[in-house]
Amino acid sequence: MQNLKEFERPQSLDEAVEKISAKPGRRLLAGGTGLSITDSKTTIGLVDLKSVGLDYIEDDSDAIKIGATAVMRALEESSLLQNYAGGLLADVAAEVGTTPLRNMITAGGNITQLRVWSDLPAPLLALDAEILVTDQEGETTYPAQKFFHRHPSQLLDDTDIVTEIQLPRGIENYSSSYTKFVAVDDSYAVTSVSVVLDMEGDTVKDVRIGVGSASPSPARCPEAEEELVDAELNESLAEKVGEICRANVNTTDNVWGSGDYKSKLIEKLVKKNLLQAKTS
Amino acid sequence: MREDTPQEELNYVGKGTERVDTTEKLTGKAKYTGDLRMPGMLHAAVKRSPHARAKINNIDTSDAEAIPGVHAVVTGKEFDYKLGLYLVDKDVLARERVRHHGEAVAAVAAESPGLAEQAVKKIDVDYEVEEPVLDALEAIEDDDKLVHPELDDYDYFEPAFSPQPGTNVANHTKIRKGDVEQGFEEADHVIEREYTNPNVQHVPMETHVAVASWKEQDELDVHTSCQSPFTVRNLLCVAFDLPHTNVHVEVPYVGGGFGGKAGIGVEPLAACLSKKANGRPVKLEASREEEFSLLPCRSGLTYRIKSGVTEDGDLVAQKMTMFWDSGAYADYAVNVTRASAYSASGPYEIPNAHVDAYTIYTNKPYGTAYRGFGHVEFSWGLERHMDLLAETIDMDPLEFRKQNALKPGSITITGEKIVENTGNVTKCMEVAAEAINYGELTPEEKKRQEETGMKIAKSVSALHKAPAMPSFTATAAELRMNEDGSINADLSLTEYGQGTYTALTQIIAEELGFPPERINLSIKGDTDKAPYDWQTVASKGLLMSGNACIKAARDLLEKAYQDASEVLRADPCDLDHNENEIYIKHHPEESVTFSELAVGYAYPTGEGIGGPIIGVGRYMAQGLTNLDKETGQGEPALDWTYGSHGVVVEVNEITGEFNILKVASAFDVGKAINPANIRGQVIGGLIQGLGTTICEGYAYDDEGHLLNPSFTDNKIPTSMDVPEEIEGIVIETPQIDGPYGARGVGEHPMIALCGAIGNAIYYAAGADLTHMPIRSEDVWWALHKDEDRDRPRYSIC
Amino acid sequence: MKEPVKEQTVELTVNGDNYEINVHPLKRLLDVLREDLKLTGTKEGCGEGECGACTIHFDGEPALACMIPVCQADGAEITTIEGLSSDGRLSLVQEAFHQEGGTQCGICTPGMIMSATYYIDNPDSAENMREALAGNQCRCTGYKRIFDSVEEAFKNK
């Protein structure tokens, strides 16, 4: 950031919107964990979101609301999240990075930057979360499917501020299961699978499957979900659904694993997590 | 020395004395090179090559030089300083051509690190990119694409190495014993395989860093994080053509080395920058990325092994070919090649052996010493191969190893005779096997298998290694008595965490009969003040410096006894001493204290005798010879440390995931000077070996760009990766020329661990692995080899 | 070279001492500690948040000083390794590391001790000791004697 000239710390969201829009070349700063790998010549100002009051996790009649600067540790320790859909998001947050990093990585940064440690997007897809974005024109709400359809940077302008993640009401009592498959303990996901499930007896009423880290953007598997709804969830169906997911997620190579291997993992992890969600 | 002393007669050796180097480290007060601030100090940054192979047409530094606060910009064409430990092939900065991605082509010294970085970005280098040679097996055949066309002109250490000018071969070491072809004819089965290893980074937690001041009249002061202050001094003197009195190397606390700091690193470039900046001190501190690509790594290896075995389980012949990918420069790789050649068969007796080991230049980051010095790499293939042979003749692999193990009377592949006191590798294997309940699954393990659906299997491997060092390696120690009878001691090993200084303190204490608290062994290295040591490498420090310390202690006592005999008017043979005083054996009440003698004894009349009591000890490696260049016959080994790993592994046959449930490793250390610290060092080595086994290594693209020069993409084990059960076991077959019988064990825990794990994975799931590291994906891939699937594109190779 | 950005005044409390410094707002807290405040006990191992050598306590929580721009530390209360011992006496955790040989080369040690100290004061903050220390890489010890040290510290708590 050799051309950085200004640093702003607004005290409210309104002020932040004003500051980020005031001049071109300004960028947002949240947890700061992406800063060391950002070497932008075009950034001339930073607007720090730390003091604008977005670090909340609150219960609302419409939704659970997670402020964009809430850190992973807060998500992990939130009893609201621990009791929402089998505690999926709290479990996911607990596996992002390490203790000191979880004190720094923010929810907004994790979903916006989509880096190797971005474990939140796939489960947010599975939870049908909504992402709130504010700019000078006002607030826009994006369903997770749209937000993560491509890299969020293609959706957002420099002046857009991701302010909040909303988790919908009505699925609190769903069960869930999550696996982050790593090459080495405590490292980045080769592939992750999140399953959110609602059962009546042995029959699936509702299900969502999110796959992370296997492809450039996180993926839902609507084909697999359709196969499951109103069907009896047993081992052979779980296996079949795993195969469907495998066929429908376009995996790519990176240093953590080949696309081939990730496809294989998707198949196995979808099966495993479906069965686990069923019994949890 | 004193190898036959029973433990009950020892007061300090063999006990758990606390480490001598910890208090300042625990409070943050320990000063490492990177913590030093000197008046007027400048900060350096390096311009690195983005290409693996290119001609440098031009370097434009004018914009960088114009930046206020930039005091020096240097490029390779300004200097004709060549560096090399054994083969002098490297310039301080690349001249005319770059030979690897990350190579230094220019450097800057400026008022702040940020300013230096900015200036480096303003340096414009015009490259003519060429197609690199990246594969050692291709490079050895390719005489057109030479990495060093000038090889013929380079100086090298002739008694030990054989460069092949006109090729990419920096060294070729041969070992010939018996008649290998005849041996294959006698064998019932002949099996040939190839095993491979990638480049691996040492990852000391402290990166390379040096502060150099090139002052008036060519006085060069260097503070550096290195393992070998005297080697750094010598190489700087040779490269810069300076008298040894002009170069002064100081070594503060050092944050890990593992071989990566064995030779010379960033010091020469820091010195050149300081010279250009009018003698202002210049600090050059490698970033983590630079640690991966600017500084050296472990060489890659392709190890071809062809073995002849009889139905009765005798190894009768073995042909071993090692293709060492040394990258752009020879550095230690030529000696890794030599050392791995004379050890190539592992701790087994081979009547007919044939080794060709080649150091091959390629356009990759260059290889250097790394804990294990080649043995980690070839033991991977060798230990996998031993199990393959055992399977072929349907013999238990442990029994097969024991049957062929080196034992008293065996002759090594260089013609050395093994004796009782060499050590006992069979016992190491037996102890490790017992510790893991080799040969059966315990009820708990069976239950675990049922619960997890994963398959559990066990394996035992064996290893040996001797220090790789010149035959005439020597060291010295100096002890000086203080006024209160305490001792200040100096020697020039570097204590970078391995615990040698604590063990040496115990040895000095034992030999003097003083408590260790009264011995102050200076942790910091200083070539102006402390006596010479060659290098802190090769697991030779304890043996060599331990002997020097014993001799220094004896020398000191002799001086003290001399003075005491005058004071007490008694022959020294009638004197004895305790912690505090020297006394007449048969009149113990007649005595003189060490404190009275320490700096010269004064009679009540005021007259003085004696003087400061100083003891000096030096030690020369005994009985080593050059190896014959055609046959490799000779005596290369100061001592052999044997060891064995027992491992228990569980494998998921579907995903290839595996967990290492238990590691129990036994080493014949001769004598455990400090059992607790050995355990620390052994477990540290095991986990480093685990990193090599499960995840670490360099990945390149087709153009030779390093793809993973960071902790993000090149993980090392964390606390989460430590096996639930991990055990280091000590066996003591005394080494006759070791201090109290001790021999080194610094490197050995890393060796052959990968082979043991690879074998256990094979038994558990049938994955036949020939490449390390072994990641889950590699196990999965090995299980599906026949499905005509390409090897993972980003595999570590 | 002109420094393009205005320096800002940042207030910090480090190991109980108050500082007011004028500094580039993006200077890493790690560099401020090491260069401006001369507290070189906090180490840099990678500069990218992976190794944990720069772990400090930031408003009482473990955090990585290499990833915090100093502007974000304005008003923060920071404890570094130098703030643990007092009156020449080692802290409980430091003493345990001394006794159990939990340090070898010593570069990871300050960060490791900061994480261990937090865990011992907040045992519920992690599922177990390994997880509590997972953010601190060590290349020398293989972690075993560090585990022994933390267990010893718990015993003496």
* pLDDT digits 0-9 by tens, B458-470: 999 999 999 999 9
For chain A, how many residues are written?
280
Tell me how far apart the alpha carbons of residues B703 and A30 are, in angstroms, rounded to a whole number: 37
CATH fold of A57-168, please? Answer: 3.30.465
Q: Select from B453, B458, B429 the least CA-distant residue to B441.
A: B458
Calculate what percentage of chain B has a pLDDT beyond 70: 98
Query: Can the peptide bond before residue B773 be classed as cis, meaning omega within 30 degrees of 0?
Result: yes
Tell me how far apart the alpha carbons of residues B169 and B678 are, in angstroms, rounded to a whole number: 39
Whether B360 contacts B374, CB under 8 Å: no
Query: CB B27: neighbour CB atoms within 10 A?
Result: 21
SS3 B122: coil
Query: Could you tell me which residues of chain A have a Cβ less than 8 Å from any Cβ in chain B?
Result: 2, 116, 181, 183-188, 190, 253-258, 260-261, 264-265, 268
**Smallest CA–CA distance from B674 into chain C, residue:** C101
Put simply, whether B717 touches A (Cβ < 8 Å) is yes
Q: Which among B29, B203, B722 is the nearest to C139, CB-wise?
A: B203
Q: Which residues contact C10 (CB under 8 A, 6 or more apart)?
A: C20, C21, C22, C23, C25, C32, C70, C71, C73, C74
**Model confidence at B637, in pLDDT bands (50, 70, 90)?**
very high
pLDDT at residue B791 greater than cutoff 70: no
Q: Do A4 and C6 touch (CB under 8 A)?
A: no
Place of tokens 């609190």: A172
Mean pLDDT over the full length of chain B: 96
Q: Do B69 and C105 touch (CB under 8 A)?
A: no
The distance from CA B213 to its chain's CA centroid, rounded to whole angstroms, is 29
Q: Which among A5, A7, A36 is the nearest to C48, CB-wise?
A: A36
Q: CB burial class (10 A; 0-12, 13-18, 19+) of residue B323? A: buried
- State the pLDDT at residue C26: 87
**Smallest CA–CA distance from B201 into chain C, residue:** C139
Tell me how far apart the alpha carbons of residues B345 and B353 are, in angstroms, rounded to a whole number: 8
Specify if B151 maps to a domain. Answer: no
CATH at B601: 3.30.365.10
Q: Which two tokens stand for residue B606?
A: 């005021």
Q: Taking each helix axis as running N to C, give the angle between helix B675-694 and helix C144-156, from 0 to 180 degrees, rounded to the nearest 10.
A: 120
Q: Do A103 and C58 touch (CB under 8 A)?
A: yes
Percentages helix, strand, coil for chain B (3-state, rounded to 5) are: 30, 25, 45
**Cα–Cα distance list, B85 to A151, B90, B196, B533 (Å):** 50, 10, 26, 16
SS3 B250: strand
Q: Which among B708, B780, B789 is the nearest to A255, CB-wise?
A: B708
**Model confidence at C87, in pLDDT bands (50, 70, 90)?**
confident
Mean pLDDT, to the nearest integer, of C80-91? 93
Q: Which two tokens stand for residue B412?
A: 């090594």
Q: Running DSSP on this structure, what letter comes out for residue B303?
A: E
pLDDT at residue B596 greater than cutoff 90: yes
Q: Do A99 and C135 touch (CB under 8 A)?
A: yes
Pairing of strands B599-602, B608-612: antiparallel
**Closest Cα in chain B, distance from residue C137 (Å):** 6
Q: Select from A87, A67, A217, A52 the least CA-distant residue to A151.
A: A217
| pLDDT tens-digit map of B7-62 | 999 999 999 888 999 999 999 999 999 999 999 999 999 999 999 999 999 999 99
Strand partners, B200: B298
For chain B, how many residues are written?
797
**Where do the domains of chain A lie?**
6-48, 57-168, 175-279
Q: Do A100 and C55 touch (CB under 8 A)?
A: yes
Q: Do A258 and B794 touch (CB under 8 A)?
A: yes
Q: Do B687 and C142 touch (CB under 8 A)?
A: yes
Q: Which residues contact B773 (CB under 8 A, 6 or more apart)?
A: B198, B692, B693, B694, B695, B696, B697, B754, B796
| pLDDT tens-digit map of B512-526 | 999 999 999 999 999
- State the pLDDT at residue C2: 43
User: Positive or negative CA dihedral for B481, B483, B485, B489?
Assistant: negative
Lowest-confidence segment of B47-51, B406-410, B497-501 by average pLDDT: B497-501
**DSSP per-residue string spanning A71-134:** BHHHHHH-HHHHTSGGGHHHHHHHTSS-HHHHTT-BHHHHHHH--TT--SHHHHHHTT-EEEEE
| Interface test mutation site (partner C, options B18, B19, B21, B25, max chain C beta carbons within 10 A) | B25
Q: Do B780 and A257 touch (CB under 8 A)?
A: no
| pLDDT tens-digit map of B523-548 | 999 999 999 999 999 999 999 999 99
Residues of C in contact with A32 (CB under 8 A): 67-69, 72
Calculate what percentage of chain B has a pLDDT beyond 90: 96
Specify if B688 maps to a domain. Answer: no
pLDDT at residue B790 greater than cutoff 80: no
Mean pLDDT over the full length of chain C: 94
SS3 B77: helix
| Interface test mutation site (partner C, options A38, A98, A115, A187, max chain C beta carbons within 10 A) | A98
Tell me how far apart the alpha carbons of residues B235 and B89 are, in angstroms, rounded to a whole number: 13
| pLDDT tens-digit map of B672-717 | 999 999 999 999 999 999 999 999 999 999 999 999 999 988 999 9
**Cα–Cα distance list, B535 to B176, B233, B261, B538, B586 (Å):** 30, 11, 10, 9, 46
Q: Do C26 and A46 touch (CB under 8 A)?
A: yes
- State the pLDDT at residue A25: 86
Whether B83 contacts B90, CB under 8 Å: yes
Q: Which among A184, A186, A261 is the nearest to B780, CB-wise?
A: A261
Residues of B in contact with C138 (CB under 8 A): 205, 719
Say if A57-168 and A175-279 have the same CATH topology: no
Q: Do A5 and C4 touch (CB under 8 A)?
A: yes
What is the helix (H) or strand (E) element at residue C100, kind and residue range?
A: helix C92-100
Pairing of strands B725-731, B525-526: unpaired
Pairing of strands A130-135, A138-143: antiparallel
Percentages helix, strand, coil for chain A (3-state, rounded to 5) are: 35, 25, 35
Is residue B747 annotated as part of the catalytic site, yes or no? yes
Specify if B549 maps to a domain. Answer: yes
Put simply, whether A103 touches C (Cβ < 8 Å) is yes
- State the pLDDT at residue B788: 61
Q: How many domains does chain B have?
A: 1
Of B70 and B680, which is predicted with more confidence? B70
Burial A228-251 (b: 16+ CB within 10 A, else e): beeeebeeebbbbbbbbbbebbeb
Q: Which two tokens stand for residue B406?
A: 């080196």
Q: Which among A116, A183, A255 is the nearest to B776, CB-wise?
A: A183
Give the number of A-C residue pairs with CB atoms closer than 8 Å: 79
**Set B430, B635, B727, B747: catalytic member:** B747
Q: Do B205 and C145 touch (CB under 8 A)?
A: no
Residues of B in contact with A258 (CB under 8 A): 777, 792-794
Strand partners, B581: B593
Assign residue B265 a region (left: φ > 0; alpha: ψ between -120 and 50; beta: otherwise): alpha
Chain A from 168 to 197: CB within 8 A of any C CB: 185-186
Q: Running DSSP on this structure, what letter comes out for residue C33?
A: I
Whether B209 contacts B52, CB under 8 Å: no
A-contacting chains (≥3 CB pairs under 8 Å): B, C
pLDDT at residue B278 greater than cutoff 70: yes
Residues of C in contact with B29 (CB under 8 A): 41, 82
**Smallest CA–CA distance from A252 into chain B, residue:** B793
Q: Which among A2, A9, A100 is the nearest to C64, CB-wise?
A: A100
Q: Do A253 and B793 touch (CB under 8 A)?
A: yes
Strand partners, B461: B645
Put simply, whether B129 touches A (Cβ < 8 Å) is no
Tell me how far apart the alpha carbons of residues C66 and C53 are, in angstroms, rounded to a whole number: 9
Q: Do B789 and A260 touch (CB under 8 A)?
A: yes
Domain A175-279 sits in CATH 3.30.565.10: no
Print the domain residue range for B507: 7-30+473-620
Q: Which two tokens stand for residue B84?
A: 């090399």
Lowest-confidence segment of A28-37, B167-176, B251-260 by average pLDDT: A28-37
SS3 B748: helix
Put simply, whether B699 touches A (Cβ < 8 Å) is yes
Mean pLDDT, to the nearest integer, of C78-98? 95
Q: Select from B296, B311, B223, B221 the least CA-distant residue to B257.
A: B296
| Interface test mutation site (partner A, options B67, B706, B777, B791, max chain A beta carbons within 10 A) | B777
pLDDT at residue C5 greater than cutoff 80: no
Residues of C in contact with A4 (CB under 8 A): 4-5, 26
Whether B694 contacts B466, CB under 8 Å: no
Q: Select from C66, C110, C102 the least CA-distant residue to C84.
A: C110
Q: Select from B712, B696, B797 the least CA-distant residue to B288.
A: B712
Mean pLDDT per segment of 10 residues, for chain A of length 280 residues?
80 94 88 72 86 95 95 96 97 93 94 91 96 95 95 90 96 96 84 97 96 93 96 96 96 89 96 95
pLDDT at residue C1 greater than cutoff 50: no
Specify if B707 maps to a domain. Answer: no
**Closest Cα in chain B, distance from residue C151 (Å):** 14
User: Positive or negative CA dihedral for A208, A213, A218, A222?
Assistant: negative
Q: In what order do the strands lie in the sheet with B455-465?
A: B455-465, B641-651, B658-668, B725-731
**Cα–Cα distance list, B4 to B290, B550, B639, B670 (Å):** 48, 15, 17, 11
Tell me how far apart the alpha carbons of residues C4 and C14 are, in angstroms, rounded to a whole number: 28
**Model confidence at B794, in pLDDT bands (50, 70, 90)?**
low
Q: Select from A227, A175, A233, A225 the least CA-distant residue to A204.
A: A233
Q: Which residues contact B734 (CB under 8 A, 6 or more apart)?
A: B3, B4, B421, B670, B671, B740, B741
In single-letter form, the type of residue at position B595 comes to: S
Q: Do C133 and B719 touch (CB under 8 A)?
A: yes
